A and B are shown apart, each in its own frame.
Chain A
Amino acid sequence: MTELLTVENLHVVFQTYAGTVYAVNGMTFDVQPGEIFGLVGESGCGKSVACLAILRILPGHGRITAGRILFDGRDLIQARESEMQAIRGRQIAMIFQDPSTSLNPVFTVGSQIKRIIRHHTRASRKVTEQRALELLEEVALPDPLRIMQAYPHELSGGMQQRVMIAMALASGARLLIADEPTTALDVTIQDQILELLVELRRHVGLSILLITHNLGVVAETCDRVGVAYAGQIVEIGPTSEVLRRMKHPYTQGLLAALPSAQQKGKDLLSISGNVPNGLSVIPGCPFHPRCPRVMEVCWQTPPRLAAANPGEMQHQVACHLYSPEVAQ
């Protein structure tokens, strides 16, 4: 199977008043056709920036300094702006955390969806209207005719996010980048939106790159997951593998820090220190200042992604604990 999207050794920096911020430092992952790939990590780990880089919609002071982003075999970093125009929306669509800021408050939902359909297909008024209604039905919105007439503020957050998903589907995109699509929603609504994404993958054959900080969301929706830290992937593999037999001390720390009923009455294991601010590149392994199992080699040599278990290439981890030279 060939990858739909491959991100290879991606580097992104921002020029700020405080200095250069190294947001993404050699991130590597891929999304297969029809797959839901989860990119998980804490704030500042570069997960959102990596996705903005894929669509080349980084804010003005951000720059891709190295790496390749292959979509269908084509390098998006090398693509001309006019070529990107044809890819954004039509091939790769994106939805964001807060749907209320993504919708235009002064136009009805219907006119916003129809505008997108017309932009991409140049269909007749009647066909467009029909297609818009179909899309709203596809995202399981009740009473699509009424929703078409409604303004964004008349809809709840969950409904707004459904409208955003409908708009993303309007262009017939093959890859949907969903940046924390449920973080602003209540748990019961989050559950429904995630179910919708899984459903769309099955019906429409959509590939989804899901960005989240919530490991539970990953567990319930994603086929594979990459754990990001300080702009790099530190562990990647099939979701059940990574969450059941996690290898990287950071992944282990993240899971141990989750409050649960079982841990009641006991202190939660927390990762000491703070998430790095990106103002300097940490030498060696980026996690070494916070790692409970740090070794001398971690200070100097950056670990590379390698098979977590001998002979198993799916589950990979970037940690010296598992490299054969150190083990001896």
Chain B
Amino acid sequence: MSDQILIETRRLSKYFHPRQGLFPSKRGAVRALEDVNLTIYRQETLGVVGESGCGKTTLGRVLLNLARPTSGQVIFEGQDLSALDHNALRRLRREMQIVFQNPYSSFDPRFSMFRSLAEPLLTHTDLRGEALEQRARELARQVGMPEDALSRYPHEFSGGQLQRMAIARALALNPKFIVLDEPTSALDVSVQAQILNLLRNLQRRFKLTYLFISHDLSVIQYISDRIAVMYLGKVVELITAPSLVEGQAQHPYTRALLSAIPEVHPEEKRERIAMPSKAPDAARPPSGCSFHPRCPFAMDICAQVEPPLEQISAGHWSACHLIHS
């Protein structure tokens, strides 16, 4: 079983210390991640969903060690990332890649597509000359782009085409793990469908493992095998996609998120859960369960005791006091 696990996090936390001008702010640290324990299995898609500021992007960055965790560990194939030295970490970088939300800001506007694709290959491999060009052409083909795209520059592409190239660049070093940080949020629906199909295809073909970050629960439901719902730096519910689709979600926050998705056929909606709008301040999280000020089912205990993430059934975990009542 343990060789099925690609990445594991143990009590992973990341705090940011906002400053006001030159001086540290008195507001205290913003907890972007707090005690996150997650397991990502090989060749699965783990979806991460939550509102802005819930820490989902920070999770992706900390997993790739693009941001150092404040405490806790990230274990990638049995190796603790925080214990690795610079060189070992650099070798591991080949295994893990990221695709960002806005493809226009993730390419150098002065680099041709060939140069952008070649950069990771030049840094990490011995491919040069004709072999390098061949690999670049192969990558372009794999994401459904014509070979002449390589001689062009970012501004000549549409958002969807550029996102394809960003995926090609992420594939360049044959990684095992790719963090997809809102990869389709900036795209139109018809183009989003093309990119989602491409990602599913590539996953099958290259046995990839995805962490798919999105605020859009319908996209997450479609693409993920398992889904982690985050709220204020914590995973509040972990559920398999089929259970979520069948309406098995337990946590009131997950259910509120589901009920807020605008549906094309609104009459098919299961329930409506209204939430007070006031999103809490991540620098001053509420006591007890951090969701209790917005929770329509809040009880006395919720303001005092923080509910732990507990297993409800196979593959389904939730952090809510309602489980016991």
Q: Spell out A's residues near B (CB within 8 Å).
A: 42-43, 142, 156, 158-159, 186-192, 194, 213-217, 219-220, 243-244, 253-261, 263-264, 267-271, 274-275
Contacts and interface: CB of A to CB of B under 8 A. Distances in A.
B131 interface: no
A269 B277 contact: no
20 contacts: A42-B190, A156-B279, A186-B215, A187-B215, A187-B257, A213-B188, A214-B262, A215-B189, A216-B264, A217-B262, A219-B264, A220-B263, A259-B192, A259-B196, A259-B219, A270-B193, A270-B194, A271-B193, A274-B158, A274-B160
B149 interface: no
A43 B188 contact: yes
A186 B319 CA distance: 22
Nearest to A250: B190
B283 interface: no
Interface in B138-195: 158, 160-161, 188-194
Contact of B262 (A192, A216, A275): A216
B32 interface: no
Contacts, number: 112
Contact of B191 (A186, A215, A256, A274): A274
Contacts of B35: none
Given A264-B222, A267-B200, A274-B160, A190 B189 contact: no
Given A261-B221, A261-B245, A253 B190 contact: yes
Nearest to B224: A264
B221 A268 contact: no
Contacts of A214: 262
B222 A267 contact: no
A187 B190 contact: no
B134 interface: no
A255 B279 contact: no
B277 A254 contact: no
Given A213-B189, A219-B262, A274-B158, A186 B197 contact: no
Q: Which of A192, A263, A270 has the most CB of B within 10 A?
A: A270
Max chain B C-beta neighbours (<10 A), residue from A213, A214, A244, A259: A259
Nearest to A259: B222
A102 to B, nearest CB: 19
A-B pairs with lowest CB-CB distance, top 3: A216-B262, A259-B222, A270-B193
A193 to B, nearest CB: 9
B192 to A, nearest CB: 7
Contacts of A188: 51, 256-257, 260, 275, 277
Nearest to B160: A274
Contact of A243 (B191, B217, B265, B275): B265
A142 B278 CA distance: 10
B241 interface: yes
A215 B218 CA distance: 13
A253 B223 CA distance: 19
Given A260-B221, A270-B197, 4 more contacts: A190-B260, A216-B264, A264-B221, A271-B190
A275 B241 CA distance: 32
A188 B252 CA distance: 13
Contact of B277 (A42, A189, A194, A216): A189
A271 B192 CA distance: 10
B197 A267 contact: yes
Given A42-B189, A259-B192, A268-B196, A220 B241 contact: no
A254 B191 CA distance: 10
Given A259-B223, A264-B222, A215 B190 contact: no
A14 B99 CA distance: 34
B287 interface: no
A190 B52 CA distance: 13
Contact of A258 (B189, B194, B257): B189
Given A186-B51, A188-B275, A216 B263 contact: yes
B315 interface: no
Contacts of B189: 42, 213, 215, 254, 257-258
Nearest to A156: B279
A293 to B, nearest CB: 16
Contacts of B244: 261
Contacts of B241: 261, 264
B104 to A, nearest CB: 13
A300 to B, nearest CB: 25
Contact of A264 (B190, B192, B245, B264): B245
A265 to B, nearest CB: 9
A159 B277 CA distance: 9
Interface string B246-283: 00000000001101111111100000000101110000
Contacts of A260: 218, 221-222
B247 to A, nearest CB: 10
A269 B221 CA distance: 17
A187 B262 CA distance: 8
Nearest to A44: B188
Given A156-B279, A186-B51, A259-B218, A269 B260 contact: no
Given A43-B188, A260-B222, A158 B196 contact: no
A166 B256 CA distance: 26
B264 to A, nearest CB: 5
A191 B218 contact: no
B264 A215 contact: yes
B277 A219 contact: no
A142 B73 CA distance: 42
Contacts of A159: 277
Given A261-B222, A264-B241, A220 B196 contact: no
Contacts of A271: 190, 193
Contacts of B245: 261, 264
B266 A220 contact: yes
A145 B200 CA distance: 51
Nearest to B184: A259
